[in-house]
A and B are shown apart, each in its own frame.
Chain A
Amino acid sequence: MPSEIITLQLGQCGNQIGMEFWKQLCAEHGISPEGKLEPFAREGSDRKDVFFYQADDQHYIPRAVLLDLEPRVIDGIMKSPYKHLYNPENVYISKDGGGAGNNWAQGYHQGDKLTEEIFDIIDREADNGDSLEGFVLCHSIAGGTGSGMGSNILEKLNDRFPKKLIQTYSVFPMTNEVADVVVQPYNSVLTLKRLTENADCTVVLDNTALNRIATERLKKATPTLAELNQLVSTIMSGSTSTLRYPGYMNNDLISLISSLIPTPRLHFLISAYTPLTSDNTESEVRKTTVLDVMRRLLQPKNAMVTTASRDKNLTHCYVSILNIIQGEVDPSEVHKSLMRIRERKLAEFIPWGPASIQVALSKKSPYITTQHRVSGLMLANHTGISSLFDRMCDHYDKLIKREAFIENFRRLPMFKDNLDEFNDSREVVQQLMDEYRAATRKDYINFGNKQAGAQGE
Chain B
Amino acid sequence: MALHEALIALQTGCSGLLTLKQDDPHFKKRFPTIPYIHQGELEILDRLTQIGRHYRTLDEYVQNILKNKTSGLYILSFAFELRSILQSYLHCLSQLEHECLQNTSLTLSHLTVALTDYTLLFPALVSLINTLQSTGYRGCQILDIIRRSTLDGNTILSSTIKKLLCACHRILIKQITSILTQGQIYDEYGEFFIGLNNNINVEAMGMTTPSISRMTSTVASRSHSPDRERQSVLQTPQPNSLITPGYSQYQLIPEMLPSYIPLQLADKILFIGESWLLLKNNDDDDNDRKFLLLNPIDYDEQNHLVQQQLYALTLSDDLNMFELERIIEHARIDLSLTLRNLFVDRFHLIDELEQIRGFYLIERGELYTLFVNRTNQLLLNTKKSTNAIENDINEVFKQCLNDLHLETILTNADKFKFKLNFPHSDTTAQEISGARRLLSRTQGLTDNSNTPFDFWSCGWANLSIQYRVKYPMKAFFSENCKQRYNDIFHLLIILRYVQNELNSLWLAFKNKNKNSLIWHLRNSMSFFIDNFQYYIQIDVLEYKYQQLIRSILSSTDFQQIKHLHELFLADIQTHSFMLLSTAYQSIKNILSICVSFCLTIKQQENTINNLDENILRQFGKEFNDEIRLLFGILGMVQKHNALPHLGVFLTRLDFNRFLTNNNGSFGEF
Which B residues touch A391, using CB under 8 A? none
Q: Is the CB of A354 within 8 A of B524?
A: yes
* B533, CB-defined interface residue at 8 Å: yes
Q: Contacts A356-B656, A447-B516, A448-B513 hold; do A2 and B370 have CB atoms under 8 A apart? A: yes
Q: Is the CB of A249 within 8 A of B534?
A: yes
Q: How far is the CA of A456 from the CA of B134 in the complex (A)?
A: 96
Q: How far is the CA of A332 from the CA of B652 in the complex (A)?
A: 13
Shortest CB-to-CB span from B225 to chain A, Å, is 36
* B523, CB-defined interface residue at 8 Å: yes
Query: Which secondary structure characterizes the binding site on chain B?
Result: helix
Shortest CB-to-CB span from A368 to chain B, Å, is 21
* B668, CB-defined interface residue at 8 Å: yes
Q: How far is the CA of A452 from the CA of B513 in the complex (A)?
A: 10
* A258, CB-defined interface residue at 8 Å: yes
Q: Is the CB of B655 within 8 A of A262?
A: no
Q: Contacts A349-B656, A353-B666, A354-B527 hold; do A330 and B509 have CB atoms under 8 A apart? A: no
Cβ-defined partner of B366 (8 Å) among A3, A261, A447: A3
A47, A247, A331, A355 pick with most chain B CB within 10 angstroms: A331
Q: Is the CB of A350 within 8 A of B516?
A: no
Q: Is the CB of B523 within 8 A of A262?
A: yes
Which B residues touch A49, using CB under 8 A? 404-405
Q: Is the CB of A353 within 8 A of B520?
A: yes
Q: Is the CB of A158 within 8 A of B511?
A: yes
Which B residues touch A43, using CB under 8 A? 408
Q: How far is the CA of A257 from the CA of B651 in the complex (A)?
A: 22
Q: How far is the CA of A254 from the CA of B499 in the complex (A)?
A: 11
Q: How far is the CA of A339 from the CA of B645 in the complex (A)?
A: 13
Q: Is the CB of A354 within 8 A of B658?
A: yes
Q: Contacts A254-B507, A258-B526, A338-B651 hold; do A331 and B502 have CB atoms under 8 A apart? A: no
Q: Is the CB of B363 within 8 A of A247?
A: yes
Shortest CB-to-CB span from B36 to chain A, Å, is 100
Shortest CB-to-CB span from A264 to chain B, Å, is 4
Q: Is the CB of A248 within 8 A of B542?
A: yes
Q: Is the CB of A358 within 8 A of B534?
A: yes
* A162, CB-defined interface residue at 8 Å: yes
Closest to B409 in A: A45
* B90, CB-defined interface residue at 8 Å: no
Which B residues touch A47, using CB under 8 A? 366, 404-405
Q: Is the CB of B667 within 8 A of A445?
A: yes
Q: Is the CB of B369 within 8 A of A262?
A: no
Q: Is the CB of A357 within 8 A of B655?
A: yes
Chain A stretch 407-457: residues in CB contact (< 8 A) with chain B? 445, 447-449, 452
Q: Is the CB of B667 within 8 A of A353?
A: yes
Shortest CB-to-CB span from A448 to chain B, Å, is 3
B366, B507, B538, B541 pick with most chain A CB within 10 angstroms: B366
Q: Is the CB of A445 within 8 A of B506?
A: no
- In the A-B complex, list the 8 residue pairs whose CB atoms are closest, starting with the nearest: A448-B516, A356-B655, A349-B656, A251-B366, A246-B366, A262-B523, A251-B365, A248-B537
* A334, CB-defined interface residue at 8 Å: yes
Which B residues touch A248, using CB under 8 A? 362-363, 365, 537-538, 541-542
* A252, CB-defined interface residue at 8 Å: yes
Closest to A267 in B: B510
* A165, CB-defined interface residue at 8 Å: yes
Q: How far is the CA of A445 from the CA of B665 in the complex (A)?
A: 14
Which A residues touch B511, using CB under 8 A? 158, 162, 264
Which A residues touch B366, using CB under 8 A? 3, 47, 243, 246, 251-252
Chain B stretch 564-621: residues in CB contact (< 8 A) with chain A? none
A-B contact pairs, 14 of them (CB 8 A): A1-B403, A49-B405, A162-B511, A249-B534, A251-B369, A255-B369, A257-B506, A263-B513, A263-B520, A350-B656, A352-B667, A358-B531, A445-B516, A448-B513
Which A residues touch B315, using CB under 8 A? none
Shortest CB-to-CB span from A362 to chain B, Å, is 11
Contact with A along B531-546 (1 / 0, CB 8 A): 1011001110111001
Which B residues touch A257, using CB under 8 A? 506
Contact with A along B255-268 (1 / 0, CB 8 A): 00000000000000
Extra pairs beyond A165-B507, A262-B519, A331-B538 (14, CB < 8 Å): A163-B507, A246-B366, A248-B362, A249-B533, A255-B369, A259-B526, A331-B542, A350-B656, A353-B524, A354-B658, A361-B542, A445-B516, A445-B520, A448-B514
Closest to B505 in A: A258
Q: Is the CB of A354 within 8 A of B655?
A: yes
* A250, CB-defined interface residue at 8 Å: yes
* A72, CB-defined interface residue at 8 Å: no
Q: How far is the CA of A203 from the CA of B506 in the complex (A)?
A: 18
Shortest CB-to-CB span from A436 to chain B, Å, is 14
Q: Is the CB of B519 within 8 A of A264?
A: yes
* A156, CB-defined interface residue at 8 Å: no
A131, A248, A448 pick with most chain B CB within 10 angstroms: A248
* B171, CB-defined interface residue at 8 Å: no
Which B residues touch A165, using CB under 8 A? 507
Which A residues touch B528, using CB under 8 A? 354
Contact with B along A149-177 (1 / 0, CB 8 A): 00000000010001101000000000000
Q: How far is the CA of A352 from the CA of B523 in the complex (A)?
A: 12
Cβ-defined partner of A246 (8 Å) among B365, B504, B654: B365
